[in-house]
């Protein structure tokens, strides 16, 4: 009788140990999807189009221009001296306001923004600093980092040829642009811009652009044929 009782106790104990182990494994597995979701990089992949075309980056409040900036703005004429008349690159942030689609691609260490306008490519290098010796370019040098669900893009190293928008807002080679890009919902992308340029503006100012997902679209070939215009950047 005693042997039977001891055998029953051992069997029950074994069942309890196995049950506890299985419960612990199940609980651990149930946590993994939540942990993975918390650390997963946001996905901006897809073709996007501006929700509304804004020729003027700041339609409601005029940017705080310096005397130099005011002079440059008054001299701008979209029909005569817009750099795009010579098929030059749009530059940043203007390229992000063009009413043509853009495709965002994400690869390890980089976010690539391929614009149909001019077939221009922006590369945002993640988790690194700007090179110390930058050659001035139209689209500048962009580095980025993730802050939660937001991609923060810092861009410098611009030349002074491009316009900030389509109405003639100018900048110098000291231009500094910071973007905060996040996916508001599945079909909506939001980009908040902070513009800083001590030569052109008395203080930093902000603007925003909204994009809508176009899941069935593809980027098409774009050819600029406005070479009949003669443009002199200076």
Indicate whether 234 belongs to any domain. no
Q: Are residues 130 and 165 in the same domain?
A: yes
The alpha-helical segments, DSSP class H, found in 54-159 are 67-75
Residue 88, classed as helix, strand or coil, is coil
Model's pTM, two decimal places?
Answer: 0.81
- On the question of pLDDT at 104 being above 80, the answer is yes
Indicate whether 17 belongs to any domain. yes
The predicted structure's pLDDT at residue 31: 47
Please report the beta strands in the chain, taking only residues with DSSP state E, as ranges in sequence order: 46-50, 102-107, 110-115, 121-126, 141-147, 150-156, 176-185, 188-196, 205-213
For residue range 115-164, what is the model confidence (pLDDT) as tens digits? 999 999 999 999 999 999 999 999 999 999 999 999 999 999 999 999 99
Omega cis (within 30) before 132: no
Number of domains present in the structure of the chain: 2
The predicted structure's pLDDT at residue 22: 44
For residue 56, give every residue at least 6 positions away whose Cβ sits within 8 Å of its Cβ, in sequence order, or none: 165, 166, 167, 169
Indicate whether 229 belongs to any domain. no
Mean pLDDT of the chain: 86
For residue range 187-221, what is the model confidence (pLDDT) as tens digits? 999 999 999 999 999 999 999 999 999 999 999 99
Q: Are residues 51 and 29 in the same domain?
A: no
Q: How confident is the model at residue 226 (pLDDT cuts 50, 70, 90)?
A: low
Domain region containing 17: 1-39
Pairing of strands 141-147, 121-126: parallel
The predicted structure's pLDDT at residue 75: 96
**CA–CA separation, 189 and 128 (whole Å):** 24
Cα–Cα distance list, 202 to 67, 164, 170, 197, 205 (Å): 9, 16, 13, 8, 9
Q: Are residues 109 and 190 in the same domain?
A: yes
The alpha-helical segments, DSSP class H, found in 40-89 are 67-75
Q: Which DSSP string corresponds to 162-215?
A: S-SSSS-----TT-EEEEEEEEEETTEEEEEEEEE-TTTBSS-EEEEEEEEE-T
Indicate whether 227 belongs to any domain. no
- On the question of pLDDT at 43 being above 90, the answer is yes
**How many Cβ atoms from other residues are within 10 Å of residue 170's Cβ?**
23
**How many Cβ atoms from other residues are within 10 Å of residue 96's Cβ?**
22
- On the question of pLDDT at 16 being above 70, the answer is no
Q: Are residues 16 and 52 in the same domain?
A: no
Indicate whether 85 belongs to any domain. yes
Q: Are residues 126 and 204 in the same domain?
A: yes
- On the question of pLDDT at 74 being above 50, the answer is yes
- On the question of pLDDT at 28 being above 80, the answer is no
Indicate whether 154 belongs to any domain. yes
Q: Which of the pair, 32 or 79, is modelled with greater confidence?
A: 79
C-alpha R_g of the chain: 27
Q: Are residues 32 and 104 in the same domain?
A: no
Indicate whether 173 belongs to any domain. yes
**How many Cβ atoms from other residues are within 10 Å of residue 42's Cβ?**
14
Q: Are residues 59 and 120 in the same domain?
A: yes
Indicate whether 152 belongs to any domain. yes
């Amino acid at each position: 009788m005693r042997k039977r009782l001891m055998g029953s106790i051992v069997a029950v104990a074994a069942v309890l140990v196995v049950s506890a182990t299985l419960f612990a494994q199940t609980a651990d597995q149930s946590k993994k999807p939540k942990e993975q979701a918390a650390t997963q990089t946001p996905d901006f992949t897809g073709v996007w189009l501006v929700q509304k075309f804004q020729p003027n980056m700041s339609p409601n409040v005029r940017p705080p221009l310096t005397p130099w900036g005011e002079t440059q703005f008054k001299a701008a004429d979209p029909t005569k001296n817009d750099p795009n008349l010579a098929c030059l690159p749009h530059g940043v942030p203007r390229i992000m306001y063009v009413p043509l689609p853009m495709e965002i691609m994400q690869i390890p260490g980089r976010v690539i923004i391929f614009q149909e306008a001019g077939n221009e490519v922006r590369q945002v290098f993640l988790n690194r600093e700007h090179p110390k010796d930058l050659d001035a370019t139209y689209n500048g040098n962009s580095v980025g980092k993730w802050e939660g669900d937001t991609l923060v893009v810092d861009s410098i190293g611009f030349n002074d040829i491009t316009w900030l928008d389509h109405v003639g807002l100018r900048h110098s080679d000291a231009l500094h642009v910071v973007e905060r890009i996040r996916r508001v919902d599945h079909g909506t992308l939001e980009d908040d811009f902070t513009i800083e340029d001590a030569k052109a503006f008395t203080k930093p100012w902000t603007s925003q652009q909204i994009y809508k997902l176009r899941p069935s679209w593809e980027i098409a070939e774009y050819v600029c044929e406005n070479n009949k215009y003669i443009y002199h950047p200076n």
